[in-house]
Structure 1
Amino acid sequence: MADQEPPIEQLERLRRLAYSRDGTADDRRRLAELEAELTAQSDAEPATVTSQEKQVEPLEVTISREVAETAPLRPRRSTDDLSHFAEAMVREREVERDVPPPVDPVIRRKRRRRRAIIGGIVGLVVAALLGGYITFALTAPIGSATIDATAPTVTPPAATLISMSPEGESAISVSGADDYLGASASGIWMSGGGDDPLPIASISKLITTLVVLDAKPLGAGENGPTITFDKADHALYDKYYVLDATIAAMPTGSSMSEHDALEMMLVISASNYAEAVSTWAFGSQSSFLRATKTWLAANGLDHTTMVEPTGIDARNTSTPSDLIALAKIAMANPVVAEIVKMQTLEVPNVPPQLNTNDLLGVDGISGIKTGTLDPSGSNLLFSATMDVGTGTPLNVVGVVLGGFSHESVDLDVKALLASITAGFHNVNLGNSGDEIGTYATPWGESAKIVLGKSSIVLTWSDTPITTTFTVEPLTTGARGDTVGEITWVAGATTVTAPLILDADIDPPTAWWRLTHPFDLGG
């Protein structure tokens, strides 16, 4: 016969079953019945002790003689039953602490439904938050790339030294280069040796020509009236021959046009023609000199004196500043400007002769008049047209008074013009592709900021060159995109060039956006 399950183990099994989720009302009823039965057994007190109990567990309690005599002897309960019962009570209290009370199935189903609803809501909230973050991360604006750029410096050339004549007095005026040389350049730009009146020698013939044309004007290309020379005019040849002045044949009864007679005065510097033509125009030398004085005053030449028409007299004097003004008046007259640039005399019935100004055609020199008088020295009033790259040729007029010799004056004038030309420089500002800075993005993209084209600027002497630039903020870009502009300023000249990217700047990846939330939002 199989062993019967002990009561205590049966009690524990029923308790675990009754308080489990699978326990039923019948299980809990059976548990209550078993607990009641075991409790009743433990409370019962038997009056006699069986022989079997004595054999199993003898009494070990010492009872006083008095008690033993008065109280009946009570046998001790079986140790196994009591220990099992005590253990069951302890386990009951532990079960009561650890096992929750049974829950009604309806309530359980409601709780499960509530938990499912709450779980679903939490899931939806989490999904919504996650979806919102993803949307934000993938569409949020991103900050501009960091710009690190510096304006390149341009070192100007060394200062230009203008080579003014070391002899006598000199001055020069330059028109057409005010943006480079300054507004005063078209007045007296440079001078040397002072501005005192000095003998002007044959430059006097230029004044005589202008005074005659004021009385007997000619248009461009016109020959003008015919002048017939008489015996008195013929005598002038001998007069100036004795004075060692430059002369040309003037037979009695010969004639030529006013234009041709002026050529004789200005091209080969014939002194006898200067007096003859001035007397023809005004009737007498005294009338001519009065007209000359009036003309000089009218043109502001207050430091110029004329006592005769040729310059053979050292009292015909002027200053460099007055002669600069005279040169401008002369070159503004088309008839005079045409004659003074002629390298060879072109008068009918007169042998060809070279102009006394042997610099004509050299370094752009186009006039005007030489003058030499011992012991005062050599003079040259000159004009020149110079192409130095400004777009419009420069008009230069200058004068040297009291030079050592005709040759030395020529050398000084050539050196002066050469120094002006050398003072204009094409300065390289930068070459296409030159780097001026970089863009760098938080997500690791970078590109250089480079010049979009090579640039140069024409400057005068050591004119400072300043550089400024503007660069646009950006987040992405393609190679060749224009991202700014660089500007150079040299005097009145401004040069600009585009600034471009030398490489692509790609947008960040989705992964970078998702893993760099604090770099988003611009």
Structure 2
Amino acid sequence: MTAPNPPADDLSEFAELMAHEQDFVDPRDRVDPKVRRRRRRRGLIITAVCVVLLLAATGGYIGWALTAPIDPPTVTTQAPQAPTVDASTIAAPLVGASALSVVGADAYLGAEASGVWSSTGTGEPLPIASITKLITALVILDAVPLASADDPGPTITFSKSDHDLYDRYYVMGATIAPMPTGTSMSLHDALAAMLIPSASNYAEALSSRIFGSQNAFLGATRDWLSANGLAGTTITEPTGISPRNTSTPSDLLAIGKLAAANPVIAQIVATPSISLPGAGQLHNTNGLLGTSGITGLKTGTLGEGTYSLLYTATLVVGTADPLAVTGVVLGGSSRESVNTSVIATLDSLRNGFHAVPVATSGQEVGTIATPWGSTARLVIGEEASIFTWSDTPITVTMDIKTPPTYRDGSAVGTVTWTAGPNTVTAPVEIKGSIDPPSEWWRLTHPSELGSMTDARD
């Protein structure tokens, strides 16, 4: 089937158009060539400006991204937990009564420690036995003071009546020391014969010689007790052989401190043994001298179940200065039990002062993290311990500062522990390094960078 032929009129019109094709010209081609050149230059300029603006925008972003400020690393801290320490217990003697005073530890034990810090029993007056002789010595030295521990004082010559006291007290079962008729010795040595072996015959002979009579001595003793506020103490004779010589634990602590403060008495009661003309070799009845820091003072015994000790001790416990301890035990069942209980008391007091470990080197106390994924740890730079008493509460504070750089080993702060009067501080260091973000991270994380204004600032 063949297509129909076009009409003749159409063919002739088409042929005429083709014949005149060369005469057809686009109206734009008829524009002046100069105009065309201007238009072309304008187009090139516009294109160039667009390219420059695009490049400028891209370059500005890169410059901003590479220099824009970033928030500092996030530092998370956790102060180390303060250790909990068990409370110390002072070993209490199993006796009729006891009391303890500690001087030099007010910052740890409280101001009350220098008075009666701990005690047992009712606090009522009890027989003090030969502790009486310590009071007798104090009353004598109040009447006839010696200038120093080396001052011999006046010379005492004992008569036959003094010598007869030896036999009288021997029959009574009291402790005695030889006192031959006509024996002469210094007041200092006579006091030593009375206190070191606890010789009752020397106590009466010396007190009668100094005051003229026992009545005068007892009157002076009452005045001395009153002047020193010792209302709980009663003295009826100078030796302690009478159970009517009584005192309270609190009074005895005060008497012990007065005795320890007297250089003559303090020297004598700290002497384990002495050899005196006429009296011979004398040994101290206080078998604890030199044990657990004990420096004195005086034993007392009235028989079974009435063993007593008034003592002083110097304890080195780690404080700035040693502690001065005064203690008394009344009514012990035996000399051995009294001594054992005193040592236990002093040891428990000494052990109550201790160094408590609070930190180890490398112990973690925080972390450092950045938006770009770099991390490090905060650690304590050295081990630390704090000196304290018993279960004194320990508090912890931590001070962390922003460092100029986050490099391994850099110190960034401190941790401080406080317990009572003491503090200890350890450094906090960075473990690991925080590297700055890479250029790629900056270019690909614009939302985590500062503003353009921030960058200009």
TM-score (norm 1): 0.79
Counterpart-to-counterpart distance in 2, 1:194 and 1:125: 100
Q: Which residue of 2 aligns with 1:380?
A: 309
Q: Does 1:319 align with 2:243?
A: no
Indicate whether 1:114 and 2:45 are aligned.
no
Conserved 8 A contact 1:475-1:505: no
Measured at CA, do residues 106 and 193 of structure 1 come closer, stay the same or move farther in structure 2, by a change above 3 Å? same
Deviation of 1:186 after TM superposition, in Å, equals: 1.6
| Count of residue pairs brought into register by the alignment | 444
| Other-structure match for 1:439 | 368
CA displacement 1:308-343 (0-9 Å, x = unmatched): 111111111110111111111111122211111111
Check 1:118–1:162 CA distance in 2 against 1; reply closer, same or farther (3 A cut).
same
Change (3 A) 1:401 1:426: same
CA contact (8 A) 1:476 1:506 kept: no
State the partner residue of 1:412.
341
Q: Deviations over 1:35-73 (max 9, x none)?
A: xxxxxxxxxxxxxxxxxxxxx999xxxxxxxxxxxxxxx
2:180 to 251, 254, 258: 251
Question: RMSD between aligned alpha carbons?
Answer: 2.7
Aligned to 1:182: 110
- 2:193 alignment counterpart: 264
Are the counterparts in 1 of residues 236 and 244 from structure 2 also a CA contact under 8 Å? yes
More strand, by proportion? 2
Q: Which runs of 5+ in 2 are unaligned?
A: 20-24
Check the 8 A contact 2:304/2:333 in 1, yes or no: no
Task: Tell me which of 415, 419, 423 is aligned to 1:494.
Answer: 423
Q: Distance in 2 between matches of 1:457 and 1:372?
A: 44
For 1:200, the equivalent position in structure 2 comes to: 128
SS for the counterpart of 1:256 is strand
Return the TM-score normalized by structure 2: 0.89
**Aligned residue in 2 for 1:141:** 69
Change (3 A) 1:122 1:413: same
Q: CA deviation at 1:122?
A: 4.2
Per-residue deviation, 1:119: 4.1
Change (3 A) 1:124 1:297: farther
User: 2:22 corresponds to which residue?
Assistant: none
What stretches of structure 1 of length at least 5 have no aligned partner? 1-55, 59-75, 89-94
Counterpart amino acid of residue 290 in structure 1: G
Alpha-carbon distance in structure 2 between the residues aligned to 1:429 and 1:102: 98
Tell me which amino acid in the other structure corresponds to 1:342. Answer: T
Which amino acid in the other structure matches residue 382 of structure 2? K
Q: Does 1:390 align with 2:319?
A: yes
1:452 aligns with one of 352, 362, 381: 381
- Larger mean CA deviation between 384-393 and 242-251 belongs to 384-393
Q: Does structure 1 residue 290 correspond to structure 2 residue 208?
A: no
Structure 1: which amino acid aligns with 2:369? A
Deviation per CA, 1:455-501: give whole Å up to 9, x if none.
11223222222222122234732221111111112233211111111
The reply on whether 1:360 has 2:289 as its aligned counterpart is yes
Cα deviation for residue 417 of structure 1 reads 1.4
> 1:84 & 1:342 partners in 2: Cα distance?
155
Q: Aligned letter for 1:501?
A: I
Point out the more displaced range, 371-380 or 491-500: 371-380
CA–CA distance in structure 1, aligned partners of residues 69 and 368 of structure 2: 18
1:297–1:518 CA distance, 2 compared to 1 (3 A): farther
Give yes or no for the alignment of 1:399 onto 2:335: no
Q: Name whichever of 190-199 and 510-519 sits farther off.
A: 510-519
1:235: which partner in 2? Answer: 164
> Which shifted more, 494-503 or 136-145?
136-145
- In the alignment, the residues of structure 2 paired with residue 304 and residue 504 of structure 1 have an alpha-carbon distance, to the nearest angstrom, of 74
Amino acid at match of 2:292: D
Aligned pair in 2 of structure 1 residues 141, 249: CA closer, same or farther (>3 Å)? same
Q: Which amino acid aligns with 2:402?
A: P
Structure showing greater radius of gyration is 1
Q: Residue 466 of structure 1 aligns with which residue?
A: 395
Q: Which has the higher contact order (CA 8 A, sep 6+)?
A: 2
Percent identity of the aligned residues? 54
Alpha-carbon distance in 1 for matches of 2:142, 2:373: 81
Correspondence for 2:149: 220
Q: Distance in 1 between matches of 2:425 and 2:191?
A: 52
Q: How big is the shift at 1:346? A: 3.9
- Report the equivalent of 1:81: 12
Question: For 1:116-135, what aligned pairs fall within 5 Å after superposition?
Answer: 116-135=44-63
Aligned amino acid, residue 84 of structure 2: P
- 1:136, distance to aligned residue in structure 2 (A): 3.2
3-state SS, counterpart of residue 167 of structure 1: coil
